[in-house]
Structure 1
Amino acid sequence: MVLRIFTCLIAVFLIGGRFSPLLAQKKSKQKKEDNSPERIILADKGQTLYRIVVPSAATADEQKAANVLQDYLLQISGAALPIIEADRSRSRYEIVLGQNERLGELGLPINLNELKEDGFLIKTDSLRLIIAGGNEKGTLYGVYSFLEKYLGCRMYSPKVKVVPRQATIMLDKIDDLQVPVIGFRDTHYRVTWDEEYTDWHKLDHDAKGGRPDWGMWVHTFNELVPPDVYYDEHPEYFAMVNGKRLPTQLCLTNHDVLDITIQNLRRKIAENPEAKYWSVSQNDNRNFCTCDNCKAIDDREDSPSGSIIQFVNQVADQFPDKMISTLAYEYGRAAPKTLIPRDNVNIMLCSIEAYRDKPIEADTTSADFVKDVQDWGKIAKDIIVWDYVIQFNHLISPFPNLHTLKPNIQFFAKNGVNALFEQGNREVGGEFAALRAYLLSKLMWNPEEDVARLMSDFLNGYYGAAAKPIQQYIDEMTQAQAASSQPLRIFGSPNEASTSYLSPELMKRYEELFNAAELAVADSVQLLERVRIARLPLEYAWMEQAKKKYAGEGGVFQKFGDRWEASTTFRSKVDDFTDLCIREGVTQVKEWSTSPDEYRTANYRLLAQGMNEHLAYGKKVTFISPGNNAVTAEHAKMLTDGVRGSQDYTYNWFSFSGQDLEVVIDLEELQPVRRIESAYFQYGFWLRLFPRKVEYSLSADGENYTVVSAVNNTLPIDQYGGQQRDFIGEFTPQNARYVKVKAYSIGNTPGWHPGAGRPANMLIDEIVVE
């Protein structure tokens, strides 16, 4: 009892001595009507009259919203607002959260159904602040939007957050209703894999990038009808391709396949009953079934999506309370002519073929895709677009597509798309990864956002005084790309851009801008590190272009007299680039392959090989296989030009499909030969495979050859990552003028391979004779 009296006396003293601004507000407000337009003072000099009111049966997300609001208000103002339940005592000084019974008591006409799952209303009513949200995370999203829009908080990345201190939190009248057009929003950048970032930016994945609403995500035919279980005994379950059954896709008109799919899907749903979406979708290859029954449906529907939709509709009928998702991807992208997806069928439409230099709707080369989006929008109730916003072969490379993000998302929303998966970089890093994730997340929530304002806000908050030169860098590169009229491809490269937005002149200009950016933040270790990370794509582009040039000005090697030496600039850039990538946590520089250390190793290999003017250097190469139709004049020179390939298989590698390599090199005179080597590239799951054996032969007359060495391949062909291997033959020196190299292809890939039955590609870069 004594303690209670003492506490009350202290409270009276505090109110009298320190609450005067708030008490003034209280007295003033009591004289006004409840709908007074005057400002609300939530906190002043660390004190408050307010408390946070949650529903008496608050959901976990509503309770979380209250805790988040309480924590940030304390950080901003020093005021600790208590959290109470709605069945406790009433006050006019309340922040009312969630689907709260207080709303009915106050007689506020809020249509909670209008908010759907994620929408929210932020509203002032007399002295109260109301943040009411939809059935799922709406209230939590509303709290984060209130903190950002009205209190100046920012979360640019999980590591870069702004919480401005305010002695007084004063609110003008607010009436802010937000309901997203895009119901499911996922930005596939590793930088977003953080619980608070995900909630702050209203994304539909968890802290590890997973999607809890999805039981199975994509490319699931093999998972539902596993070839290793069924193919040997039942090849008829699988696709008829060129007259042969292959385990590439399913035969979608086989009744047993339907039964097995339903049975296995039912088992998976029982293991994860909370998931709403379940993918029944094609594998990631183009070898679909062309048996008579499947072909008849596809011909009738003018698209292979015909047999897909007929099959998936039958699956969906068995699971009326779930959404069955399927891909409209590559061969199955066009909508069927007469078939209609069931209401519980989700169409996952993929934009993989589209260029990125112009908005999709404005690009004539994307006219077919635009039509497909419009056609599916007319017949499907639930559509998710899988969109692509990065250059996959070069994850850390300049890619000026930021200006297309908003119009593309607007186009999708306009055509009935209610879900978006923006595929950026599943690995750590990538060009402006934090900026891209930030812009995409904001635009998916509201496609009408002002991108210029968002970008300016981000650059200033993230890079400080370096914002201006970095903004200039982005603007000038975007303008250079537009002026070039060259397409921007998601499978392009810095070398492809060397005649457009990454020309030698522009590269020098970009260097100047980044020098200015670094100088502007030289006194801040954190900001300088962020600027240097932003510069990584430029450094990467410089190195890749140097490797393409290889020798001479701007190349990896320069000649001094009769001696070739490695560029000291290139050598230093390799280590600086790799070390910064590792410090930042970058995992890959190419999709599925090439860690920073592997990138360093590939470049060290190049430096170690050097510019070697060996016996066959510059000599004529005659092709026996592949035939003339696969060999250009450039190819004929490529195998003896001294230029070595690296981790990018699209440059300095001669590639051909489905044949052995057999060539003869004329050394022009008889001379002793003791060593022959040739280099090959493998990217196993993408049909770029090592030869099974390489054979070297010598001849003095060009007619009679003697095999001097044979090297067998011992590496498997089931790896995602890129590998390079030198097949080296060493032997007792023999006099010869002609050198024959024969590399034996593995032929068509085996049935278990993702490219089953398709011819393998062979890649070779240089034949060295010593």
Structure 2
Amino acid sequence: MHTRIITFLFVVAVTANAQAAPVDLVTNGTSDYVIFHDSNAPKSVSEAAVELQAYLLRSSGAKLDVVHQPADKMICLGDCEAARAADVEAQNLPWEGFRILTNGTNVYIIGRDTADGEKTPGGGTSRGTYNGVCRFLEEYVGVRWLIPGEHGDYIPKSSDVTIPDTDFQDAPAMLNRRVPYTQERRSEVKQWWRRQRLGWSLYLNHSHNWQHTIPASQFDKHPDWFAERAGVRVPPTGRYKLCTTNAELVKAYADAAIAYFDRNPNTTCYSLSPSDSAGYCECDQCSALYEKDPNGRRSVTPAILTFYNAVAKIVAKKYPDKVLAGYVYAAYLYPPKENLKLERNVFVVLTPSIDYGFTLARPAIRKQWESLLQDWTNATENISYYDLPVNITTEAGALNPPGLEILKFIYPKLAAAKIKGVYVYGVPAWGRAAPLNYLLAKLAWNPNADVEAMFDEYCAKAYGACGDDINQMYRMLDKEVARHYREFPNASYPLTTDMLRDIYAKNFPEIEQRYRAAHAKVKDADAKFRLEMIADNLKVLHWNLRQHNLLDEPKASAFYLSDGDFFEFLSANKGSLALHPSDGTKVPAYVRTKRNVTVPAKPKQAEKVRSFRLRGDQHLIVKPTGTSAAEVRFRRISARGKLITYRVFESDGAEVSGGVASEGSPLILDNADSGSEYYHVVIAGGTASFTIDVKEAAWAADGNLSDQGLHLLGQSSPLYFYVPEGTPAFHLSLEASPPGETAAATLTDPRGQRVAEFDCAQLSVDRQNIKLTSGQSGWWKLDVHKAKTGAIDDVWIKLESPLSGYFSLDPDRAATVQ
């Protein structure tokens, strides 16, 4: 054991008396001190006391009682009479800030705290005293919260704890600090967030909000509220857009925001942000506001800001102190050429989508980024920041380096620009990117912190004796990823096959060598646990590299798992913080609905199955028809960084199996024992695409998972759907993303007669009402093909009631679902 005296390095530090004696808080594992706070202190203060007591005990062996009466020797927490008697007050501290002071024999940790249920003027909360205790534990006890959970703490042991004479205060540079996509709904991650002093005294809601505010159901009554394309108001599906120059629409949006504030009087912010993706209105009034951005692309920024202002102006009449927040992003990222003054209640969220992934490794992108930051901060003081600048999005286990050079570039500039908040993506699989998540949390509080020093310290404390090996492994990957982004101009944030080949397969021998060296050195149990979180991801990465045939001798690796062992490994580690979280354990409601699944005669107009690809999440119904087990194979998988998983349910909704899609391991459905009439195959595909090949069964794909319908990629084999006798009419839609991505389709009835032609060369959605005559019940065929202009890529097909919405792509194995 040793004596530890640690010197603070804080934003503001003032030595009260250079000659004053230090405070001996713990001596030889014992202490005369107590932890005091008022009995009516906010919950956050009592939580701070519990944290302080627990970590002092774990570090020094001394348990300091928590009391509610001042004592001669005490650590005094929170704003109270005892603190004010020592001339320590919280009222002049910034929200979320704190002051730590030694005065005589006592230590005071006083923060700006909101009472239970109280909000700051910005609509948030303030846990200043708790923040001060966490900083105290870091600086004087040496505690680090490296990852969430029981193995995440670094607590050096010392029988003596001495506090130097000091008086200083600190507060966050950002009023809203979030590191999302870190599995933050888990209790242990929420606790980790608190200890890292993440949180907000300024509440901001900036999510994509058009669909929630103006639902698609309004289209029939108000088609002019929605985007116009090629002279036609487009039926709203997916991430639909609004006509931002329509005065009635602006009023309706403002009324919805006002109604929200009426229902939630303590809430201070409502989102104006458009739905994601493209498809903006092309009516004359909207188009007149559009211009070209610096890269020669269409910019809709003037229209979006005009909309923000118009809504904000109406809302301010009733709620002048409420805030309307909205992104500046994608097609509305660049400021307008002519200055457009924003209403004082508009809060801009700068979202530089040009830098997603590690694209800031490119000098040209850095230059654009700096220009954007300067232009927007010149335009308004009400500005926050949203980004994913150091993220490789994947479920494939690829380690995500910390992006040290990018972090050193971004954060000091955000601080200098006086950005009010940061919402910067972390990585949900902590075994891929724990150092990055840690750095993002620290920089949210102090964007001028020393990134290199924090990273080095993290590796040393998280991995102990093998810290240098892991440090060098991540630094090697950092350099390789930056190189890749400079050499591959199309690389963005999703993991690609090029990345797997050029970064991970190329460097996998060195990654494994460094890991093995680290594993041979590690002794501490917690450090070993953190190290093995990395190993879990390397097993996933190795399996994915093997699926792409990118490893010369895959079985020679310590991370090799056969397909069967890999599926068992994933099953055993479901819910692990180390790995990317699974797509959920809830049973989808649609598998509980009993279906009538039949296998009618083959469609008369059937063609031989052509190549097709399903994309994204899918729901298949598979009905065994042979004497042997049915087989479902995934082929032509394009994972796009996604680990495609599936779950199988029997016809009564009981879950029977699950796994990971692999071209080498078919899914076997044997109803000999269960007697299930049919099976649901629920596929979590994300952005991946794949082909399905079924044997010994009939099958159909569900077009009801989204309001856009069945999602296909590229030119497809014809689709078949069954129209029952007595159906008077049905609506059928074809959707694409013109002008770049287009599609067309021909609809044929059961007699082989052409009934309708669909064209999405100009319209994003071609929705037609098909009226039936005698003799048109049975199998219909929709043949999707290229339009006269553009390229066929993402295509959606939707059948509406009274039809079931299911499609068959293999006429020899077509099933009807009612």
Separation of aligned partners in 2, 1:400 and 1:82:
43
Q: How does 1:236-247 map to 2 (within 5 A)?
A: 236-246=224-234, 247=236
CA displacement at 1:142 relative to structure 2: 0.3
Unaligned runs of 5+ in 1: 1-32, 206-210, 557-566, 610-645, 654-673, 697-709, 719-743
Is this contact kept in 2: 1:122–1:174, CA < 8 A?
Answer: yes
CA displacement at 1:232 relative to structure 2: 0.6
CA deviation map 1:623-670 (0-9, x unaligned) = xxxxxxxxxxxxxxxxxxxxxxx96977999xxxxxxxxxxxxxxxxx
Q: How does 1:60-71 map to 2 (within 5 A)?
A: 60-71=43-54
2:199 corresponds, among 200, 204, 212, to: 204
1:97 corresponds, among 68, 77, 85, to: 77
Separation of aligned partners in 1, 2:130 and 2:580:
32
**Number of residue equivalences:** 611
Is this contact kept in 2: 1:157–1:434, CA < 8 A?
Answer: yes
Match of 2:355, SS?
A: coil
Match of 1:449, SS?
A: coil
CA deviation map 1:495-544 (0-9, x unaligned) = 2125643353x2222121222233334x7776555333313444444443
Is this contact kept in 2: 1:347–1:383, CA < 8 A?
Answer: yes
Separation of aligned partners in 1, 2:758 and 2:470:
48
The equivalent of 2:441 in structure 1 is: 441
CA displacement at 1:325 relative to structure 2: 0.7
| Residue 606, structure 1, aligned to residue 601, structure 2 | no
Separation of aligned partners in 1, 2:76 and 2:105:
11
2:248 corresponds, among 256, 261, 272, to: 256
> Is the alpha carbon distance of 1:179 and 1:527 closer, same or farther for their aligned partners in structure 2, counting shifts above 3 Å?
closer
Separation of aligned partners in 2, 1:713 and 1:405:
56
Aligned letter for 1:232? D
CA displacement at 1:124 relative to structure 2: 1.7
Is this contact kept in 2: 1:62–1:140, CA < 8 A?
Answer: yes
> Is the alpha carbon distance of 1:57 and 1:34 closer, same or farther for their aligned partners in structure 2, counting shifts above 3 Å?
farther
CA displacement at 1:326 relative to structure 2: 0.8
The equivalent of 1:44 in structure 2 is: 27
Is this contact kept in 2: 1:357–1:401, CA < 8 A?
Answer: no
2:277 corresponds, among 263, 266, 285, to: 285
CA deviation map 1:89-121 (0-9, x unaligned) = 674x3323223344443345x6843x3111222
CA deviation map 1:384-439 (0-9, x unaligned) = 211114223446323335212242222222223110111234x5x25534322211
Aligned letter for 2:138? E
| TM-score for the superposition, normalised by structure 1 | 0.68
CA displacement at 1:569 relative to structure 2: 6.2
CA displacement at 1:590 relative to structure 2: 9.1
1:128 corresponds, among 95, 106, 110, to: 106
Match of 1:218, SS?
A: coil
Aligned letter for 1:171? I
Aligned letter for 1:598? Y
> Is the alpha carbon distance of 1:269 and 1:306 closer, same or farther for their aligned partners in structure 2, counting shifts above 3 Å?
closer
The equivalent of 2:413 in structure 1 is: 411
CA displacement at 1:372 relative to structure 2: 2.3
Match of 1:338, SS?
A: coil
CA deviation map 1:347-373 (0-9, x unaligned) = 12213321544647x731354343222
CA displacement at 1:250 relative to structure 2: 2.0
Aligned letter for 2:80? N
Separation of aligned partners in 2, 1:580 and 1:250:
46
Separation of aligned partners in 2, 1:494 and 1:161:
35
CA deviation map 1:579-607 (0-9, x unaligned) = 56426264557998666753984544434
Is this contact kept in 2: 1:185–1:420, CA < 8 A?
Answer: yes
> Is the alpha carbon distance of 1:393 and 1:584 closer, same or farther for their aligned partners in structure 2, counting shifts above 3 Å?
closer
> Is the alpha carbon distance of 1:264 and 1:681 closer, same or farther for their aligned partners in structure 2, counting shifts above 3 Å?
closer
CA displacement at 1:204 relative to structure 2: 1.7
Bigger mean CA deviation after superposition, 677-686 or 37-46? 677-686
Aligned letter for 1:130? Y
The equivalent of 2:287 in structure 1 is: 295
Match of 2:548, SS?
A: helix
Separation of aligned partners in 2, 1:447 and 1:43:
33
The equivalent of 1:117 in structure 2 is: 95
Is this contact kept in 2: 1:695–1:711, CA < 8 A?
Answer: no
Is this contact kept in 2: 1:118–1:138, CA < 8 A?
Answer: yes
Q: How does 1:610-625 map to 2 (within 5 A)?
A: none
Aligned letter for 1:49? D
Aligned letter for 1:285? S
Bigger mean CA deviation after superposition, 532-541 or 434-443? 532-541
Separation of aligned partners in 2, 1:420 and 1:254:
33
The equivalent of 2:86 in structure 1 is: 106
Match of 2:177, SS?
A: strand
Q: How does 1:147-546 map to 2 (within 5 A)?
A: 147-159=137-149, 160-192=152-184, 193=186, 194=188, 195-204=190-199, 213-214=203-204, 216-228=205-217, 230-246=218-234, 247=236, 248-298=240-290, 303-317=302-316, 318-336=318-336, 337-357=338-358, 359=360, 363-388=363-388, 389-394=390-395, 396-403=397-404, 404-425=406-427, 427=428, 429=429, 432-484=432-484, 485-486=486-487, 489-493=491-495, 495-498=497-500, 500-504=502-506, 506-521=507-522, 527-546=527-546
> Is the alpha carbon distance of 1:161 and 1:652 closer, same or farther for their aligned partners in structure 2, counting shifts above 3 Å?
same
| TM-score for the superposition, normalised by structure 2 | 0.64
CA displacement at 1:40 relative to structure 2: 0.7
> Is the alpha carbon distance of 1:117 and 1:589 closer, same or farther for their aligned partners in structure 2, counting shifts above 3 Å?
same
Is this contact kept in 2: 1:191–1:434, CA < 8 A?
Answer: no
> Is the alpha carbon distance of 1:67 and 1:255 closer, same or farther for their aligned partners in structure 2, counting shifts above 3 Å?
same
Aligned letter for 2:96? D
Separation of aligned partners in 2, 1:501 and 1:356:
14
CA deviation map 1:139-184 (0-9, x unaligned) = 1100011011111122212222234443232111223322221111
Aligned letter for 1:690? L
> Is the alpha carbon distance of 1:69 and 1:583 closer, same or farther for their aligned partners in structure 2, counting shifts above 3 Å?
closer
Is this contact kept in 1: 2:397–2:537, CA < 8 A?
Answer: yes
Is this contact kept in 2: 1:494–1:545, CA < 8 A?
Answer: no
Separation of aligned partners in 2, 1:745 and 1:322:
46
Separation of aligned partners in 1, 2:352 and 2:541:
26
Match of 2:285, SS?
A: helix
The equivalent of 1:730 in structure 2 is: none
Aligned letter for 2:26? A
Separation of aligned partners in 1, 2:54 and 2:345:
41
Is this contact kept in 1: 2:79–2:90, CA < 8 A?
Answer: no
> Is the alpha carbon distance of 1:430 and 1:147 closer, same or farther for their aligned partners in structure 2, counting shifts above 3 Å?
closer
CA displacement at 1:444 relative to structure 2: 1.0
The equivalent of 2:629 in structure 1 is: none
RMSD between aligned alpha carbons?
4.7
CA displacement at 1:461 relative to structure 2: 3.2
Is this contact kept in 2: 1:533–1:580, CA < 8 A?
Answer: no
The equivalent of 1:16 in structure 2 is: none
CA deviation map 1:430-459 (0-9, x unaligned) = 553432221110111112222333223333
Separation of aligned partners in 2, 1:678 and 1:480:
45
Aligned letter for 2:20? P
The equivalent of 1:741 in structure 2 is: none
Aligned letter for 1:174? T
Match of 1:432, SS?
A: helix
> Is the alpha carbon distance of 1:42 and 1:218 closer, same or farther for their aligned partners in structure 2, counting shifts above 3 Å?
same
Separation of aligned partners in 2, 1:56 and 1:547:
60
Separation of aligned partners in 1, 2:699 and 2:527:
46
The equivalent of 1:3 in structure 2 is: none
